[in-house]
C-alpha cells in the first residue's frame, strides 16, 4: 500500500528534538497496517492451526520487520523525500531524526524481528522475512527505485510477501495458495501505484524518480494500468477455486474485478486534458477502489476460513 500520510503533523517540541512518535513514524505505520492484515490472513487461512499467542507474536514480528524496512527506506530516501510534498515532513527530511538514527533503528529492528520470528514460529518464516526486508531495502529502495520505471512492479514484491510469510508461520513452507496470495498483491501494486502517480506526477518529477508517468508519459501509464489490471483479474478467481477459497470469495472477486477492469478501461479512454479538467476524478476514484479491492479480497478469504468450522466456508 502506498503511504499517503502527507502531513501527519507529528508534533515535536520547541528544541526540534525527536519524540517517540517520530520513531514510530519511521516505521511507516500505514504501510505496516497492510502488512499486519495480509500476514494475519495468510496465517489464519492456512490449514495448520497455530496457538493464538504464537500467531499474535509472529504477526507482531512480521510487522516489526516491515517497519524496519520502512526505516531503512526513510534513511536512504531522505534526499528525495525532502523534495516531494507528500514526504517532506517525514522525520528525517524534516530534521527531527538524524539519518544515522534511522539507519540504526532499521538495522536493529531487522535483526530483532528476524531472530524473534525464528524463535516464535520457525526459521523458514524468519528467513523469508529477512529476504523481504532485504528485497525492500536493497533491491527496491537502493537499486530499482532510482534506476527503472518498472521500479514498483518488481519492488512491489516486497509488499506482497507478508501473506506468504504468515502462511509459512503456520505451515513451515510454501504452497500454491500462498503463491496466489502473493500474486494478488504483486499484480495489484502497479495499477494502484500508477493511478496515484497520475495525479501526483509533479512530486515524482521534482524528485527525479523514474516513475512511468515521468519516463513514458501519462498515455503509456494509462495503457500499463489497463494491462496489469487485466493480468490481475484471473488471480482472484484462481484463489476462489483453491483450497482456501469458496463462494464468498468467488462472488467478491467477480464483483471487484468487474469494477476494477471497468475503472481501468475508463482511465485508458481518458486524455490528459479530460483528466485535468475534472482534477483526475476518475483516477482518484480508481485509486480508492484499489484500496478496497485488496482489502475485500483478503477479507473474503478470512471469512471463508472463519466460517469453515461451522461447515459454511469453502467448497
The binding site for other proteins (CB under 8 A) comprises 13, 15, 17-20, 23, 51, 53-54, 57, 60, 119-120
CB of 201 to other proteins, least distance (A): 38
* CA triple 291-200-30, angle to 5 deg: 40
CB of 171 to other proteins, least distance (A): 17
Q: Which residue's C-alpha cell is 477455486?
A: 241
Give 31's Cβ-side CA count (13 Å radius). 28
CB of 120 to other proteins, least distance (A): 6
| Spatial distance between the Cα atoms of 95 and 68, rounded to a whole number of angstroms | 19
How far is Cα of residue 128 from the mean position of the Cα atoms in its chain? 16
Q: Angle formed by the axes of helices 29-44 and 176-199, to 10°? A: 160
Closest CB to other proteins among residues 109, 195: 109
DSSP characters over 248-269: HHHHHHHHHHHHHHHHHHHHHH
Closest CB to other proteins among residues 21, 237: 21
CB 78 within 8 Å of CB 88 = no
CB of 118 to other proteins, least distance (A): 12
Closest CB to other proteins among residues 120, 187: 120
Closest CB to other proteins among residues 57, 307: 57
Closest CB to other proteins among residues 52, 311: 52
| Spatial distance between the Cα atoms of 74 and 195, rounded to a whole number of angstroms | 23
CB of 62 to other proteins, least distance (A): 14
How far is Cα of residue 6 from the mean position of the Cα atoms in its chain? 17
Closest CB to other proteins among residues 15, 273: 15
CB of 169 to other proteins, least distance (A): 13
Closest CB to other proteins among residues 17, 79: 17
Q: What is the DSSP letter of 233?
A: T
- Contact residues for 82 (Cβ-Cβ < 8 A; gap 6+): 88, 93
CB of 274 to other proteins, least distance (A): 49
Amino acid at each position: 500500500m502506498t503511504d499517503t500520510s502527507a502531513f501527519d503533523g507529528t508534533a515535536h517540541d520547541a528544541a526540534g528534538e525527536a519524540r517517540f512518535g517520530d520513531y514510530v513514524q519511521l516505521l511507516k505505520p500505514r504501510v505496516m497496517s497492510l502488512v499486519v492484515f495480509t500476514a494475519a490472513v495468510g496465517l489464519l487461512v492456512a490449514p495448520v492451526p497455530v496457538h493464538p499467542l504464537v500467531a499474535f507474536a509472529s504477526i507482531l514480528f512480521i510487522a516489526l520487520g516491515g517497519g524496519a524496512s520502512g526505516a531503512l527506506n526513510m534513511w536512504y530516501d531522505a534526499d528525495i523525500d525532502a523534495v516531494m510534498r507528500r514526504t517532506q515532513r517525514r522525520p528525517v527530511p524534516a530534521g527531527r531524526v538524524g539519518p544515522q538514527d534511522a539507519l540504526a533503528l532499521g538495522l536493529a529492528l531487522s535483526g530483532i524481528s528476524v531472530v524473534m520470528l525464528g524463535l516464535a514460529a520457525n526459521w523458514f518464516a524468519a528467513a523469508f522475512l529477512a529476504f523481504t526486508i532485504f528485497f525492500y531495502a536493497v533491491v527496491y529502495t537502493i537499486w530499482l527505485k532510482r534506476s527503472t520505471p518498472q521500479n514498483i512492479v518488481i519492488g512491489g514484491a516486497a509488499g506482497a510477501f507478508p501473506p506468504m510469510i504468515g502462511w509459512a508461520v503456520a505451515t513451515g513452507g510454501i504452497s500454491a495458495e500462498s503463491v496466489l496470495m502473493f500474486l494478488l498483491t504483486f499484480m495489484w501494486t502497479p495499477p494502484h501505484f500508477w493511478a496515484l502517480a497520475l495525479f501526483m506526477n509533479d512530486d515524482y518529477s521534482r524528485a527525479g524518480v523514474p516513475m512511468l508517468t515521468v519516463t513514458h508519459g501519462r498515455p503509456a501509464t494509462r495503457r500499463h494500468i489497463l494491462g496489469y489490471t487485466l493480468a490481475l483479474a484471473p488471480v482472484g478467481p484462481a484463489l476462489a477455486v483453491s483450497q482456501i477459497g469458496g463462494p464468498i470469495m468467488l462472488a467478491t472477486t467477480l464483483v471487484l474485478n468487474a469494477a476494477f477492469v471497468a475503472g481501468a478501461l475508463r482511465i485508458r479512454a481518458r486524455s490528459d486534458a479530460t483528466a485535468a479538467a475534472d482534477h483526475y476524478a476518475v483516477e482518484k476514484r480508481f485509486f480508492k477502489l484499489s484500496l478496497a479491492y485488496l482489502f475485500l479480497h483478503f477479507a473474503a478469504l478470512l471469512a471463508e476460513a472463519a466460517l469453515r468450522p461451522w461447515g459454511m466456508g469453502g467448497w
